[in-house]
């Protein structure tokens, strides 16, 4: 297995109290596999990814339990200089806002080339040539002429391509893409996702795709892990999720996807708001918003029940949810 996250806990100490951002998350991804991590804002998707990458702000963040095994080594036991050698070279991250992630006062060529200077000891001339090669690889037109330009001189879609080029510069074994298409229009979203999938196949990389949009992952993911209030509440192969949800929250996300045959109807929305991580409800955290909630849901935290050999659901009444999803 390329990456295994085991029972990870992350909290943030604030003036208002302790925010329990990640509460016992476990997932795994192998070489050549795409895992999509879904959920609303505040569900713990990005915090888990930051913990994996070793870029969590500590303080106020603190990892209080768990293991992060990458190629068999627990990253949480490594010293910072050892962790830095893994970050960028063996695993890389594509951030949500490319304009904020890129340095505005350095040319894109300098930023791409820096990876090769720092990690490969290349000369600046050779690193610039590699930067042009990378820009060509992610299909940025006139790369040789544009390598000296700055981030603000590129469109949103082109900046995201530069971020992809930077992430895969050293051909890492794992890429984490955090909402890589959020600020892009639908056509550019499709192009970016197609490019990511193509590069993944070419390099046999593991890919963790963090998103709140089920529509984005349908054609690219192998497996889906759905998060809510810092926990994984359902995990399954992608096609199983789309056929029938085994958790009411997942069903709500599926019902929220716009569909052509629903033209003219009001778009479904899950009632209520996600809970505050400072005060997560007892029992199942989703019960205040769940149409199937009963007394046991308000008191007992549901474990991840085995639904099928490769599927789990953290719902006391997953069988009812699955049956209703099929009907």
The predicted-structure confidence for 302-312, as pLDDT tens digits, reads as follows 999 999 989 99
Q: Contact 99/152 with Cβ under 8 angstroms?
A: yes
The angle at the Cα of 215, spanning 252 to 288, to the nearest 5 degrees, equals 20
Lookup result for tokens 């959020």: 182
For residue 269, the model assigns a pLDDT of 83
Total length of the chain? 327
Whole-model pTM: value is 0.90
The residues pairing with 174 across neighbouring beta strands, listed in sequence order, are: 91, 206
For residue 261, the model assigns a pLDDT of 64
Kindly state the tokens that stand for 33.
């596999």
Residues of the chain with pLDDT under 70: 183, 260-262, 264, 326-327
In order of 64, 128, 150, 279, 309, the CA distances from 147 in angstroms are 43, 8, 8, 49, 49
Sign of the dihedral defined by the CA atoms of residues 79, 82, 87, 88, in that order:
positive
d(CA 20, CA 171): 34
Strand 174-178 to 206-211 pairing: parallel
In order of 50, 121, 148, the CA distances from 162 in angstroms are 20, 21, 13
For residue 284, the model assigns a pLDDT of 96
Q: Contact 254/224 with Cβ under 8 angstroms?
A: no
> Around Cβ 1, how many Cβ atoms within 10 Å?
13
């Amino acid at each position: 297995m390329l990456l295994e996250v085991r029972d990870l806990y992350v909290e943030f100490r604030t003036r208002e109290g302790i925010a329990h951002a990640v509460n016992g998350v476990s997932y795994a991804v192998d070489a050549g596999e795409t895992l999509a991590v879904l959920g609303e804002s505040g569900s713990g998707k990005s915090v888990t990814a930051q913990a994996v990458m070793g870029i969590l702000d500590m303080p106020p963040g603190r990892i209080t339990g768990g293991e992060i095994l990458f190629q068999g080594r627990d990253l949480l036991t490594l010293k910072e200089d050892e962790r830095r050698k893994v970050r960028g070279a063996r695993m890389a991250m594509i951030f949500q806002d490319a304009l904020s992630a890129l340095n505005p006062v350095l040319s894109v060529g300098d930023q791409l080339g820096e990876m090769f200077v720092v990690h490969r000891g290349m000369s600046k001339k050779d690193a610039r040539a590699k930067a042009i090669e990378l820009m060509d690889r992610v299909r940025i037109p006139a790369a040789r002429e544009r390598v000296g330009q700055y981030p603000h001189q590129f469109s949103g879609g082109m900046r995201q391509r530069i971020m992809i080029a930077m992430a895969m510069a050293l051909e890492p074994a794992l890429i984490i893409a955090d909402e890589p298409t959020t600020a892009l229009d639908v056509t550019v979203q499709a192009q970016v996702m197609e490019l990511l999938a193509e590069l993944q196949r070419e390099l046999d990389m593991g890919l963790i795709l963090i998103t709140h949009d089920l529509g984005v992952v349908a054609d690219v993911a192998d497996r889906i892990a759905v998060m809510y209030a810092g926990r994984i509440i359902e995990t399954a192969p992608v096609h199983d999720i789309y056929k029938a949800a085994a958790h009411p929250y997942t069903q709500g996300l599926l019902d929220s996807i716009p569909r052509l045959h629903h033209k003219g109807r009001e778009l479904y929305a899950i009632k209520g708001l996600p809970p505050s991580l400072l005060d997560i409800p007892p029992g199942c955290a989703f019960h205040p918003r769940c149409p199937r909630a009963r007394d046991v849901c308000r008191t007992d935290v549901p474990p991840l029940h085995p639904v099928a050999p490769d599927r789990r659901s953290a719902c006391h009444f997953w069988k009812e949810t699955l049956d209703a999803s099929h009907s």
